[in-house]
């Protein structure tokens, strides 16, 4: 899947069955964004992949994993006792979660990640003509907040998809439990799950 | 009846070649509806085949971690939601269906709900007196009894004491458990088999009377000849990956019982080209839920102890034109809490760091009772995925807002330092004077996290054939040999946790199902 040529970003988010067409119905900004996303110079900017984003990924490309890790860095900023997402191997964890979804859902998520990262979308939607991964932490928080509080329901949906993926993967990891004071389950059970993950 | 060898559970791994099975009854789904019909029909000598899409995880077979259990025991790996992601859908998918992850709260259907169904939907047979023996039988088999006072954990104690101090109706709930150790992991599949869910009761009863259950078997199509179903086609799934193995299970039954729940039963009908003039998959109700997190000075440890043991129905009936709601508690495990809490970054971390002191209380809105209330819709996407839409009506937003105010007052009365809504920009409440802040908050899809653990409707039973997907006896309209026996037949929500309603309705309906076939 990751070997296919990436399609231009569109706002076909989880839950949107019609992809481009339904997006176009949502107005001029969207139409302009699609045009730019398809061929504009900003769309040629490439996400740089750090060493920790690489790994045995099943569904996400190394670039997509790098974007999600950057999002995770802002959703869980540095705080005493909270492990860094990279240290947990969160990219692999998130990839495993995405891999469980329906192929169409996987594709939507990948498109969402590319759109969120894209400089063209940043420019048009949030006056930030740069990749998310190349923005400062303050700019990144601003971009996240813009998606979270957007008047366009689809962008809010997109924000929630990213947020849920990051937090579900991060806080499901036993290494984070001491940070939140969770002592873990009172009894030890089960081998089936441990084998599989 | 002739003695018959006990049946058993087959997993997808055991289906190494295509299977052709004949049966008297093919039951699709093994939850509160399907398990009871299977057991009752097998008891009468019927040859029963049960198809269950989920896997078979006996008590104690999974580690008690959210990462392990949500992908295995919940629909869509725990990621099911409305199309706009505004409402997270917690729905079981395993042998025993939703009952296997249910938080054990066991209410009978309220009389006023049955009265509404009789008067509006012509369900004349559903009187409290007629259903009483069926509730009795279910409650006996599931050992439903009131939770003792010393089994109320601090999280539920907040609701009990807070509502009590406010002078509101509040009571300990009845639970379907036997030998419960109050570990707090009901939603993980009870690790010690103490919750008497369908897999521990009626599924076992059905197997003991010769039924055969295929787990990891996803029903994909119902084959018809005119008005008769001739075949149920299922694909075997690999238990490890949940992907199709390429093996097909075909069941040729005399009778089909659809019991896949309020989202998957309509979806299976739609996949089979049956929409009954557009009625299938409409009027889906969810008891949409809002929650309030309270930060309390004393440790709450809401991840331990029976997750639900107290409920308040003080606001269940708020008068004509208003949507009622009821109040309960929810367990506080890290992943569920993290995905529920509003905001992100340092603010979110701050709330997570308070987890041991967090109490989570929920307000469940009682949808489906307003005139012309349409609820949600189940449909199919072009790629075959099921889609759930639920436009939240203004009256429901009002109920959720008032519900959150009530929860804030409960938290404060129980001594909370601060209470937080699940808005993207969380509303912080430190005293009664802060409560009007909730009036100014954004009550809009995608700006405050909502949930549903109760999925109802989509194949409503009704006397009026123009309105019905099933008859009042739960027979599928316009077909000769199919019944629907699960939460999808409910014409409205139930106003209480629905599992006992579905169990009892299935117990009642089994007589109708049995009378529809000649055995042998």
Residue B217 · residue B247 · CB < 8 Å: no
* Cα B502 → chain centroid: 9
Q: Do B65 and A75 lie within an 8 Å CB cutoff? A: no
User: What is the second-level CATH architecture of the domain B76-93+146-195+287-453?
Assistant: 2-Layer Sandwich (3.30)
Residue A121 pLDDT grade (very low, low, confident, very high; cuts 50, 70, 90): confident
Answer whether residue A163 shows pLDDT above 70.
Answer: yes
Answer whether residue A129 shows pLDDT above 90.
Answer: no
Tell me what pLDDT residue A44 has: 55
Q: pLDDT by residue (tens digit) across B9-23?
A: 999 999 999 999 999
* Phi, psi angles (nearest 5°) of residue B413: -65, -25
pTM (2 d.p.) = 0.93
- The domain ranges of chain B are 76-93+146-195+287-453
Tell me what pLDDT residue B519 has: 72
| Positive or negative: CA dihedral B304, B305, B306, B311 | negative
Beta strands of A2-137 (E only): which ranges?
A: none
Answer whether residue A18 shows pLDDT above 90.
Answer: no
Most distant CA atoms of chain A, gap in Å: 56
B314: which 2 tokens? 């003080």
Of residues B244 and A36, which shows the higher confidence score? B244
Task: State how far the alpha carbon of B289 is from the alpha carbons of B286, B357, B400, in Å.
Answer: 8, 22, 7
Contacts with A104 from chain B: Cβ below 8 Å: 381, 383, 385
* Phi, psi angles (nearest 5°) of residue B467: -100, -20
The C-alpha atoms of residue B388 and residue A164 are separated, in whole angstroms, by 18
Closest Cβ–Cβ partner in A141, A148, A177 for B334: A177
Name the minimum distance, in Å, from the CA of A95 to any CA of chain B: 13
- The owner of tokens 């519900």 is B403
B381: which 2 tokens? 């996407």
Q: pLDDT by residue (tens digit) across B211-220?
A: 999 999 999 9
Name the minimum distance, in Å, from the CA of B513 to any CA of chain A: 35
Mean pLDDT of chain A: 79
Answer whether residue A128 shows pLDDT above 90.
Answer: no
Give me the residues of chain B with pLDDT under 50, please.
1-2
The C-alpha atoms of residue B94 and residue A103 are separated, in whole angstroms, by 22
The C-alpha atoms of residue B470 and residue B489 are separated, in whole angstroms, by 7
Tell me what pLDDT residue B287 has: 98
Tell me what pLDDT residue B439 has: 98
Per-position DSSP letters for B11-27, written without gaps between them: -GGG--S-EEEEEEEEE
Contacts with A157 from chain B: Cβ below 8 Å: 84-86, 446
Tell me what pLDDT residue A192 has: 55
Tell me what pLDDT residue A37 has: 45
Residue A49 pLDDT grade (very low, low, confident, very high; cuts 50, 70, 90): confident
Closest Cβ–Cβ partner in A14, A74, A100 for B77: A100
Contacts with A192 from chain B: Cβ below 8 Å: 57, 61-62, 68, 72
- The owner of tokens 């409920």 is B311
Q: Do A163 and B344 lie within an 8 Å CB cutoff? A: yes
Residue B271 · residue B220 · CB < 8 Å: yes
State the number of CA atoms in the 13 A half-sphere of B74 facing the CB: 25
Closest Cβ–Cβ partner in B346, B381, B385 for A77: B346
Tell me what pLDDT residue B479 has: 97
């Amino acid at each position: 899947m990751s070997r296919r040529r990436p399609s231009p970003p569109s706002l076909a988010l989880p839950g949107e069955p019609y992809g481009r067409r339904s997006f176009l119905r949502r107005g001029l900004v969207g139409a302009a964004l699609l045009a730019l996303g398809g061929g504009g110079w900003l769309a040629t900017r490439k996400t740089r992949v750090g060493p920790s984003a690489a790994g045995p990924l099943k569904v996400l490309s190394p670039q997509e994993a790098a974007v999600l890790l950057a999002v995770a860095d802002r959703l869980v900023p540095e705080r005493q006792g909270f492990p860094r997402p990279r240290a947990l191997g969160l990219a692999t964890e998130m990839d495993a979660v995405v891999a469980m979804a329906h192929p169409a859902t996987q594709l939507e998520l990948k498109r969402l990640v590319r759109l969120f990262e894209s400089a063209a979308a940043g420019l048009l939607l949030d006056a930030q003509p740069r990749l998310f991964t190349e923005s400062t932490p303050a700019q990144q928080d601003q971009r996240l907040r813009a998606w979270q509080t957007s008047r366009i329901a689809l962008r809010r949906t997109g924000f929630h998809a990213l947020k849920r993926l990051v937090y579900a993967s991060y806080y499901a990891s036993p290494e984070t439990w001491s940070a939140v004071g969770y002592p873990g389950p009172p009894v030890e059970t089960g081998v089936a799950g441990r084998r599989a993950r | 009846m002739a003695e018959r060898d006990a049946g058993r559970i087959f997993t997808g791994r055991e289906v190494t070649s295509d299977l052709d099975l004949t049966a008297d009854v093919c039951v699709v789904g093994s939850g509160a509806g399907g398990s009871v019909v299977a057991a009752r029909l097998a008891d009468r000598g019927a040859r029963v085949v049960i198809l269950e899409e989920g896997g078979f995880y006996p008590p104690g077979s999974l580690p008690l971690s959210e990462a392990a259990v949500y992908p295995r025991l919940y629909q869509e790996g725990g990621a099911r939601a409305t199309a706009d992601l505004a409402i997270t859908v917690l729905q079981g998918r395993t042998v025993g269906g939703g009952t296997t992850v249910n938080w054990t709260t066991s209410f009978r259907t309220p009389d006023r709900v049955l009265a509404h169904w009789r008067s509006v939907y012509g369900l004349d047979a559903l009187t409290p007196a007629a259903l009483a023996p069926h509730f009795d039988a279910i409650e006996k088999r599931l050992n439903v009894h009131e939770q003792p006072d010393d089994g109320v954990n601090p999280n539920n104690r907040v609701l009990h004491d807070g509502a009590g101090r406010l002078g509101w109706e509040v009571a300990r709930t009845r639970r379907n458990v036997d030998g419960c150790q109050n570990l707090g992991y009901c939603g993980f599949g009870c690790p010690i088999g103490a919750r008497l869910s369908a897999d521990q009761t009626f599924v076992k009863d059905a197997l003991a009377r010769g039924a055969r259950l295929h787990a990891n078997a996803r029903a994909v199509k119902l084959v018809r000849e005119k008005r008769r179903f001739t075949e149920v086609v299922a694909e075997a799934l690999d238990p490890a990956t949940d992907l199709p193995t390429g093996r097909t299970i075909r069941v040729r039954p005399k009778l089909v019982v659809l019991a896949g729940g309020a989202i998957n039963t309509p979806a299976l009908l739609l996949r089979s080209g049956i929409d009954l003039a557009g009625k299938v998959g409409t009027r889906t109700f969810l008891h949409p839920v809002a929650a309030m997190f309270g930060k309390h000075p004393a440790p709450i440890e809401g991840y331990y102890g029976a997750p639900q043991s107290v409920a308040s129905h003080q606001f269940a009936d708020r008068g004509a034109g208003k949507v009622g709601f009821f109040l309960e508690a929810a367990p506080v495990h890290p992943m569920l809490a993290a995905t529920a809490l509003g905001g992100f970054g340092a603010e979110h971390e701050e709330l997570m760091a308070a987890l041991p002191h967090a109490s989570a209380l929920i307000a469940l809105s009682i949808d489906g009772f307003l005139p012309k209330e349409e609820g949600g819709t189940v449909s199919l996407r072009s790629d075959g995925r099921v889609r759930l839409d639920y436009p939240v009506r203004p009256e429901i937003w009002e109920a959720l807002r008032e519900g959150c105010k009530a929860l804030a007052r409960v938290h404060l009365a129980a001594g909370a330092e601060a209470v937080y809504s699940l808005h993207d920009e969380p509303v912080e409440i430190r005293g009664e004077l802060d409560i009007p802040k909730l009036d100014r908050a954004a009550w809009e899809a995608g700006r405050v996290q909502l949930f549903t653990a109760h999925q109802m409707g989509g194949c409503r039973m009704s006397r009026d054939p123009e309105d019905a997907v099933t008859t009042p006896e739960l027979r599928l309209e316009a077909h000769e040999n199919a019944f629907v026996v699960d939460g999808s037949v409910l014409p409205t929500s139930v106003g209480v946790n629905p599992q006992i309603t579905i169990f009892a309705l299935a117990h009642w309906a089994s007589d109708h199902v049995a009378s529809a076939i000649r055995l042998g």
